[in-house]
Chain A
Amino acid sequence: MQITLQTIIGGVSLGAVYALVALGFSLVYRTMGLVNFAHGNVVTVGAYLASTFYLSTKLPFALAMLVAIAVTGLIGLIIERVLRPLENRDFDLMLIGTIGFGIVLDALVIMIWGATGRAVPSPVPSAPIEVLGLRIRTYDLVVLAIAAVATVLLVLFLSRTKRGAAMQAVAMDHEAATAVGIHVGRSNAIAFMIGAGLAALAGGLVGPLLYVSPALGGTLGIKGFAAAILGGFGSIPGAIAGGLAIGILDSFTAGHFQGYSELVTFLVFTVIIMVRPTGIFGERTVNRA
């Protein structure tokens, strides 16, 4: 029993990070119908930026994160701006374009920070909390809290603000949205910017948990993408549920299947997707193109 609970705790904190990555994927997808393949690389960039400002310029961790989010948000805007001429013309070229951006970002990271990577000390140095023989890292609680706040803010933005409502409208029917005077390009740009910001948030938060290296975003990108699909691609609650599910599933298979855990995780994932192709919270209304 104790092992089971401890395994869940271990899976939840990485799951929260997967959820943030999945949110970024889903947000861009629901708005533009596009899968942003550069997303994993943006996570890496975010992780490096946050750790650089935290370690080198000695900014407080929270401030370092904000700077990282701002800079990566800008990168998101640039990606969208470059791809904009292709919008509604050639969808496949846009996909390839994001892959290209991923490779460029990957190369830039290695050029700027080197291929070696770095360890980031935890910004919350206090000892783990012990509850009924279970150990919970304080930093994990911070990660969960920040992920929760980010999700709530995102949902509020999408449902309560005019800009957010415009984005929803574009997601539903971009031609009708254009007809009523909504700037589709701007909507897309905001989706890309927020998506990149979420990637930086995930990367920055995961730094002290793992090891920041150019390979970081690859793993998180795949897991985050799987989480988005599992939850229902394009769905905000789906991204959260999918992320946590993948995190916990991963944690359990690691305990039971040891060296074959990765295989079992994705087998389970495949079976779920076969049974329920739209994912847990699959929405069909956001589909477009």
Chain B
Amino acid sequence: MFRRRATAISAFAVFSAVSVILAGCSAPGSDDKSSGDSSGPIKIALVDAQSGQLSSLGAWELKGARLAVDEWNAAGGVNGRQIELGVFDDQGDPTTGTNLARKIDSEGYIAMIGTAESAVTIAMAPILKQAEIPNITSGQSPGLVAAGSEFLFLNGPTSTTYDETLAKHIVDKQGTKSIAMITNNGSYGKGEHDAFLKALQSRSVTPVADQVVTTDQKDFSAVLTGIRQKNPKVIFLGAEEVESGLIVKQARDLGITATFAGAAPQGTPVFIDTAGAKNAEGTIVSSPYLGNDISDASKKFATAYKAKFNEEAELHGAKAYDGTQILLAALKTSNVATGKALADAIRATKYQGLLGNFAFDTTGVGISATAIGTIQNGKLVAAAG
């Protein structure tokens, strides 16, 4: 009798353990084995979440990178060598990421695109630094800069830039001082929390509420009811697409009419779909890529993207496209160098991209400006004025 109950409880332990192990060890993706010699294809790894809650990011990244690689391959590759893009699934999990970092090193990949998750990239950074594999990430946490690796580059601005621009718009321009914050305790949310709070403090604004949620949370009634009583004008969101969307949906159900504001995730279709277009209306977004109609380059990119994948291009695809273009340009100028020489070539690359003019500084940040947009009729558009 007692054995049975013990089984039930140990089964619970097994259940939890199995979930962790499954998240940890399976790594579907390319398993090609060829050495990193100077003939044959140039091997570039793309590491991103291809499964799990963050997989939409990974899917966009893959499309952006794939588009850039295919364009180069169609034009004859780099120095006559084709580029081979190996795809690895990190499941948005840092442990899986570190395993993959060793894997791409041992399989002779010379550079890496991704990941879109700051926490995963930060976990991978020391291994990639040791292996001298340059990495162009789509993460934006200031923690990436703090990692201090000369092999780590960002294909966009850090949270500091996003949130400084956002605070400037909300506080300085609109004169709103009644601001609440909801951030999650993941790497991205933590970066957003610190960056936005700092931007507010430099303007002597204290948020009326500063709530932290977990990355896995589904019900936000307690947090939102507390915020509703403070009646803020603007609620800042520092969480990924799906979670932010759920927060907005539940907030509107609770009768909160405040405007939401955030950085890159709040401008994506996944956020808008999850929240519902009506609920997301008016959300203020700080982003380096406000839409596909901003410039000739972005129109061309969006057309090619649509033709290839039959869906609308958005920020993350554009970021990965830019990052991959920079990497390939650096490979070309350096005559397919590897290791430190390739990292130096990336740092020296000046590139006019979809997100702006890339000029890397010593910290690996290439872009240091964002623009303000708002969501109108379910689409992100540049803010008037």
- A254 to chain B: which residues have CB within 8 Å? 213-214, 217, 219-220, 222-223
- Compute how far the CA of A94 lies from the CA of B99 in the bound complex, rounded to whole angstroms: 31
Q: Is B383's CB within 8 Å of the partner chain A?
A: no
- A214 to chain B: which residues have CB within 8 Å? 51-52, 55
Q: Is A48's CB within 8 Å of the partner chain B?
A: no
- A10 to chain B: which residues have CB within 8 Å? 219-222, 250
Render A93-105 as a binary contact track against B, CB cut-off 8 A, 1 for contact: 0010001000100
Q: Is B50's CB within 8 Å of the partner chain A?
A: yes
- A78 to chain B: which residues have CB within 8 Å? none
Contact yes or no, B226 A35, CB < 8 A: no
Contact yes or no, B226 A255, CB < 8 A: yes
CB distance from B226 to the nearest CB of A (A): 6
- Compute how far the CA of A14 lies from the CA of B52 in the bound complex, rounded to whole angstroms: 21
- Compute how far the CA of A126 lies from the CA of B304 in the bound complex, rounded to whole angstroms: 41
Contact yes or no, A255 B223, CB < 8 A: yes
- B56 to chain A: which residues have CB within 8 Å? 116-117
Contact yes or no, A287 B225, CB < 8 A: no
Whether A229 touches B9, Cβ cut-off 8 Å, given contacts A115-B52, A214-B52, is yes
Q: Is B254's CB within 8 Å of the partner chain A?
A: yes
Contact yes or no, A11 B50, CB < 8 A: no
- A289 to chain B: which residues have CB within 8 Å? 4
Q: Is A43's CB within 8 Å of the partner chain B?
A: no
Contact yes or no, B255 A128, CB < 8 A: yes
- Compute how far the CA of A213 lies from the CA of B57 in the bound complex, rounded to whole angstroms: 13
Contact yes or no, B9 A128, CB < 8 A: no
Stretch at the interface among B16-24, B127-135, B155-163, B290-298: B16-24
Contact yes or no, A130 B255, CB < 8 A: yes
- A284 to chain B: which residues have CB within 8 Å? 1
Contact yes or no, B218 A219, CB < 8 A: yes
Q: Which residue of B lies closest to A6 (CB)?
A: B225
Q: Is A62's CB within 8 Å of the partner chain B?
A: no
Contact yes or no, B8 A233, CB < 8 A: yes
- A115 to chain B: which residues have CB within 8 Å? 49-52, 55, 58-59
Q: Is A210's CB within 8 Å of the partner chain B?
A: yes
Q: Which residue of A lies closest to B221 (CB)?
A: A10
- Compute how far the CA of A118 lies from the CA of B59 in the bound complex, rounded to whole angstroms: 13
- Compute how far the CA of A108 lies from the CA of B223 in the bound complex, rounded to whole angstroms: 36
Contact yes or no, A29 B214, CB < 8 A: no
Whether A114 touches B59, Cβ cut-off 8 Å, given contacts A135-B255, A287-B5, is yes
Contact yes or no, A6 B221, CB < 8 A: yes
Render A16-56 as a binary contact track against B, CB cut-off 8 A, 1 for contact: 00000000000001000101010000000000000000000
Contact yes or no, B254 A277, CB < 8 A: no
Q: Which residue of B lies closest to A115 (CB)?
A: B55
Contact yes or no, B254 A116, CB < 8 A: no
Contact yes or no, B15 A251, CB < 8 A: no
- Compute how far the CA of A226 lies from the CA of B13 in the bound complex, rounded to whole angstroms: 11
State which of A35, A103, A277, A288 has its C-beta within 8 Å of the C-beta of B11.
A35
- Compute how far the CA of A109 lies from the CA of B255 in the bound complex, rounded to whole angstroms: 35
Contact yes or no, B212 A252, CB < 8 A: no
Whether A7 touches B246, Cβ cut-off 8 Å, given contacts A215-B52, A287-B1, is no
- A250 to chain B: which residues have CB within 8 Å? 219
CB distance from A262 to the nearest CB of B (A): 5
CB distance from B219 to the nearest CB of A (A): 5
- Compute how far the CA of A108 lies from the CA of B156 in the bound complex, rounded to whole angstroms: 35
Render B243-274 as a binary contact track against A, CB cut-off 8 A, 1 for contact: 00110001001110000000000000010011
- A116 to chain B: which residues have CB within 8 Å? 55-56, 59, 270
- Compute how far the CA of A222 lies from the CA of B18 in the bound complex, rounded to whole angstroms: 11
Q: Is B327's CB within 8 Å of the partner chain A?
A: no
Contact yes or no, B15 A225, CB < 8 A: yes
- Closest 8 CB pairs between A and B? A10-B221, A255-B222, A259-B185, A115-B55, A119-B273, A258-B212, A287-B4, A6-B225
Listed by A's residue number, 30 A-B pairs whose Cβ atoms lie within 8 Å are A2-B229, A6-B225, A37-B14, A37-B18, A115-B55, A115-B59, A116-B270, A117-B55, A117-B242, A119-B273, A128-B254, A211-B274, A213-B53, A213-B242, A215-B53, A219-B216, A222-B19, A225-B15, A226-B12, A229-B8, A229-B12, A233-B5, A251-B221, A254-B220, A255-B226, A258-B185, A258-B223, A259-B185, A259-B212, A284-B1
Beyond known contacts A110-B51, A119-B245, A213-B52: 17 more, CB 8 A cutoff: A3-B225, A3-B226, A6-B254, A11-B221, A35-B8, A103-B22, A116-B59, A116-B270, A214-B51, A215-B53, A222-B16, A251-B222, A252-B222, A254-B213, A254-B217, A258-B213, A289-B4
Enumerate chain B interface residues (CB-CB to A < 8 A): 1, 4-5, 7-9, 11-12, 14-16, 18-19, 22, 49-53, 55-56, 58-59, 184-185, 211-214, 216-223, 225-226, 229, 242, 245-246, 250, 253-255, 270, 273-274, 276
